[in-house]
Structure 1
């Protein structure tokens, strides 16, 4: 069992272990150990280990939480709903409203494979053909998520899809007001202009809210297969093109840099261009992408606000010891590019 005081406070192994033993019918989970998995910039993700194997715990960060953020019950619900579809998700083993840790949390299976951040694993997807297969699997899973009949899988009450982008602009403007530590005039202007440039919503779907390479697990031996989509914190029912707009922000091409908080690999040789990604998505989904720039501009706004929240939580010591440095320039750059797109 872990004896790290900070970890013990965050995961309460004396309560969590017995609860997992009951949920799995395996007493070996009583003596669990835990370690923080790097990469989480909002909710905290821990690897749980015991003689019974490995599981993953998700819980909110410490400190003051922004309104409506870090809802563990929703993350567990959407993964349970999608379990019977073609969208790959991790099996939820246990979810709790707050009795175990004092805050809601859930535990899911650990899906084997690679989570790709700033570099590819050695010898993995090192050819153009594999990198293309990796990209198409990634895009196809997003299109398939957007095609799920959410009523049929018990997620009809998971959100209010009508008027989604208008509410999102309003919500993230509120999050900006709640987390801002200084003025960023371009971000204020971007919020104002987005509110007056909402495209007509084509269809309703489950929107992931943060779909990018490091939120999926690629199969260990086959880059063209995804084992699970992770990090459902921002998911809801809404406009699927918001996911695609965010994906364009995270899809850097050769010679381009990634946002400071989101390392990636798509700027390496062999990965498809943004235009090719959009063509693939449009062909699989049937979506009209004429108004996509408005969604990409919103992605810049949303991510700038997320970066501000990360900076504020990191400064307050509420990120499990992670430090992401000064993000002011990143936030200003995102705001300026969002305005350019509009």
Structure 2
């Protein structure tokens, strides 16, 4: 292929020379990537790629070579904050969870130096299954199938929060104690440094969360982005989890933050989609468990109190508003052409208002 124009936003090129000619780095460079895969024994011949997934943070590609398919995960196009988009952390968590009751894709290789693509990345098994976002797969699109998707969603969260951190070798993943305090401080600092405009609802929600912070319910492994669209289900008419995906935000902390975030992404009845609720639009089709049923099932199976859960739902909306403002900053800087991120001009203020609604 010929080298693309230096000012354009290009995702994939063939050579390192073509990469060097671009104003903004591409996401994949085929020739050095092929050499890396050769060294790892992952297929032969030229690399063929396809962007997959509906995520807007780390980037996921399906890779094909002769006799092999795999999935590559890498950070988005720079710039981004130094501690964000840690794909090697994702790979570490998935390797640790492979022998547990939480199914994850098998990690095949990691590249920590940035010498191949300019950033670290990892490669994992390609799994064949269904991810439920805007619609339900035909085989599961029955009242029983829909309800089963909801129960599998909450039962997987229960299993996640029951993982033995020490047995899995994840004790050093994070400081689990005082997790809520650190969340409020960290995202408060992010808002101060990454905001692009004044949004009073973000500031008001942050003050409310700080004034009403509960005692931490427990310390477990938490996913950080736990929602229906991050679960892959096996093909067939019975909901069966194939893998829990997207471990970018995983750490040790308060398990109710996962449950609160799940509720913030889980519409009920004819509720409008909104920035987060659209991530599980299929639920609005009916026959899924209600939010109350999800919470009741979680409490029954964990023995954990869910009193005061509205604080965690408000935290989820506020934290997401702050995090997505940094994504919106990327759109203003011209380093992404993701239409979802462009919509955050209105989406971030909407999330802040939802945080206040959950609080009060």
Q: Which bin holds the TM-score, normalised by the shorter protein?
A: over 0.9
Tell me how far apart the structure 2 counterparts of residues 238 and 164 of structure 1 sit (CA, whole Å). 5
Deviation by residue 1:92-124 (Cα, 9 ceiling, x = unmatched): 111111222121111111111011221223x23
Deviation by residue 1:274-303 (Cα, 9 ceiling, x = unmatched): 000101111111110002111001001011
Deviation by residue 1:156-200 (Cα, 9 ceiling, x = unmatched): 100000011111111112222222110001101111221222211
**Which secondary structure state, in structure 2, belongs to the residue aligned with residue 157 of structure 1?**
helix
Q: Which moved more, 1:192-201 or 1:69-78?
A: 192-201
**Which secondary structure state, in structure 1, belongs to the residue aligned with residue 283 of structure 2?**
coil
Tell me how far apart the structure 2 counterparts of residues 227 and 14 of structure 1 sit (CA, whole Å). 32
Show the counterpart of 1:247: 262
Show the counterpart of 2:19: none
The 3 A distance-change label for structure 1 pair 117 and 314 is: farther
Shift of residue 27 of structure 1? 4.4
Tell me how far apart the structure 1 counterparts of residues 90 and 175 of structure 2 sit (CA, whole Å). 16
Q: Which moved more, 1:168-177 or 1:138-147?
A: 168-177
| Alignment check: 8 A CA contact 2:219 2:252 kept | yes
User: TM-score scaled to structure 2, two decimals?
Assistant: 0.89
| Alignment check: 8 A CA contact 1:135 1:272 kept | yes
Shift of residue 2 of structure 1? 12
Shift of residue 81 of structure 1? 0.4
Show the counterpart of 1:6: 11
Shift of residue 223 of structure 1? 4.6
Unaligned runs of 5+ in 2: 5-9, 14-25
Show the counterpart of 2:127: 111
Show the counterpart of 2:22: none
Q: Which moved more, 1:187-196 or 1:247-256?
A: 187-196
Shift of residue 329 of structure 1? 3.0
Show the counterpart of 1:231: 246
Question: Which of 95, 98, 101 matches 2:117?
Answer: 101
Deviation by residue 1:19-78 (Cα, 9 ceiling, x = unmatched): 22332x3441x4211122241201111111112232111111112112411001100000
The 3 A distance-change label for structure 1 pair 2 and 283 is: farther
**Which secondary structure state, in structure 2, belongs to the residue aligned with residue 228 of structure 1?**
strand
Deviation by residue 1:127-163 (Cα, 9 ceiling, x = unmatched): 1111111111111111101100111111110000001
**Which secondary structure state, in structure 1, belongs to the residue aligned with residue 173 of structure 2?**
coil
Show the counterpart of 1:181: 196
CA-atom RMSD in angstroms? 1.9
| Alignment check: 8 A CA contact 2:275 2:350 kept | no
User: TM-score scaled to structure 1, two decimals?
Assistant: 0.93
Question: Which of 229, 232, 244 matches 1:217?
Answer: 232
1:268 and 2:273 matched: no
| Alignment check: 8 A CA contact 2:158 2:301 kept | yes
**Which secondary structure state, in structure 1, belongs to the residue aligned with residue 70 of structure 2?**
strand
